[in-house]
């Protein structure tokens, strides 16, 4: 009798805990239905049910809001990735279009210069450069089959690039104006004094054999004289940056900054018309020993 009486409170507690657990499960699974039911319950029972119901409803709403935010953030992240890919593609397209526009502009300038200057010019592209640094040369994609021969002058609209020294059927080697083995007859525009333009070891150029009485100065422009070699008169070679006048010397000399950046040239014109007496690329002294026409 004592045993049955003592176990009754424990049974009641178990039943109450089970009911409470069922209530919590119902609140989680059917919050809307339970809330509607609580509206019909009044007094303490309705209040006791409504308090956990409101708490669970707020938790459920918070979880739903967080889930919606997570889904929205996932969508924004995927959209950003797609936009980033499209932006990279557009940047690549923009770079290619800019390069095409620059090439078109250079070729247009070449054609305009060709029409205004001389009709006997052949346009060519630079397809190679000397990799040994023994000579400063470039290789063109035009050769003997295009009418190009050694000693022909090579220019851009800006000025002189160099002279053809070797040809094959489909290509040509051009010795640049900055190579020490090259020599071009030059003329100081302001004073009309002549000399020989040769390249230097530093990749620039110098005007040699200038008369001692010449009044040249820094900033004077030097152009082709048209008397020796395959260049017409008046093509820009470079600008004087420094004058060297040594005591007892027979001539003056001057350093030049070439007008054309030969390290970046991409398209050129090869002059096919002969001007004056053609001359092999060599030293200034060799050119001076040749008789003028």
pLDDT per residue as tens digits for the range 135-182? 899 999 999 999 999 999 999 988 999 999 999 999 999 999 999 999
Our count of domains for the chain comes to 2
138 and 263 within one domain: yes
Mean pLDDT in the chain? 76
Q: Residue 98 — very low, low, confident or very high, per pLDDT cuts 50/70/90?
A: low
**CA dihedral (251, 257, 262, 263) positive or negative:** positive
User: Does one domain contain both 151 and 220?
Assistant: yes
Asked if 172 and 246 sit in the same domain, the reply is yes
Residues 54, 130, single domain; the answer is no
Does one domain contain both 139 and 272?
yes
- Report how far residue 45's alpha carbon sits from residue 38's, in angstroms, rounded to the nearest whole number: 8
In a domain, 289, yes or no: no
Distance of CA 167 to the CA centre of its chain: 32
Print the domain residue range for 57.
2-65
C-alpha span between 222 and 212 (Å, rounded): 17
Residues 130 and 59 reside in one and the same domain: no
CATH code of 165's domain? 2.40.10.340
What is the percentage of the chain residues whose pLDDT exceeds 70?
Answer: 61
Task: Identify any residues that bridge with 154 across adjacent strands, giving them in sequence order.
Answer: 162, 270
Residues 247 and 139 in one domain: yes
Those residues with Cβ within 8 angstroms of residue 112's Cβ, 6 or more apart along the chain or in another chain: 157
- How do residues 208-259 score in pLDDT, each as one tens digit? 999 999 999 999 999 998 876 678 888 999 999 999 988 888 999 999 999 9
Picking from 21, 49, 65, the residue at the C-terminal end of a domain is 65
Same domain, 145 and 33: no
């Amino acid at each position: 009798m004592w045993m049955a009486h003592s176990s009754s409170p424990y049974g009641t507690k178990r039943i109450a805990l089970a009911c409470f657990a069922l209530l919590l499960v119902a609140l989680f699974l059917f919050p809307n239905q339970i809330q509607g039911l609580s509206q019909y319950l009044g007094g303490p029972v309705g209040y006791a049910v409504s308090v956990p119901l409101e708490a669970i409803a707020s938790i459920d709403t918070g979880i739903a809001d967080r889930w919606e935010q997570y889904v929205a953030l996932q969508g924004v992240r995927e959209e950003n990735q797609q936009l980033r890919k499209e932006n990279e593609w557009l940047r690549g397209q923009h770079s290619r279009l800019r390069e095409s526009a620059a090439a078109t502009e250079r070729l247009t300038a070449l054609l305009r210069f060709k029409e205004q200057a001389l009709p006997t010019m052949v346009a060519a592209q630079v397809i190679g450069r000397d990799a040994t640094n023994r000579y400063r040369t470039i290789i063109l994609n035009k050769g003997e089959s295009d009418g190009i021969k050694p000693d022909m002058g090579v220019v851009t609209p800006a000025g002189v690039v160099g002279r053809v020294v070797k040809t094959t059927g489909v290509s040509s080697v051009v010795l640049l104006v900055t190579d020490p083995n090259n020599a071009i007859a030059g003329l100081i525009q302001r004073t009309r004094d002549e000399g020989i333009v040769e390249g230097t070891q530093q990749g620039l150029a110098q005007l040699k054999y200038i008369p001692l009485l010449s009044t040249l100065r820094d900033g004077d422009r030097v152009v082709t004289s048209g008397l020796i070699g395959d260049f017409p008169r008046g093509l820009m070679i470079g600008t004087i940056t420094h004058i060297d006048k040594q005591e007892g010397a027979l001539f003056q000399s001057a350093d030049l900054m070439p007008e054309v950046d030969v390290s970046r040239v991409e398209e050129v014109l090869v002059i096919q018309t002969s001007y004056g007496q053609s001359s092999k690329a060599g030293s200034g002294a060799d050119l001076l020993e040749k008789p003028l026409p």
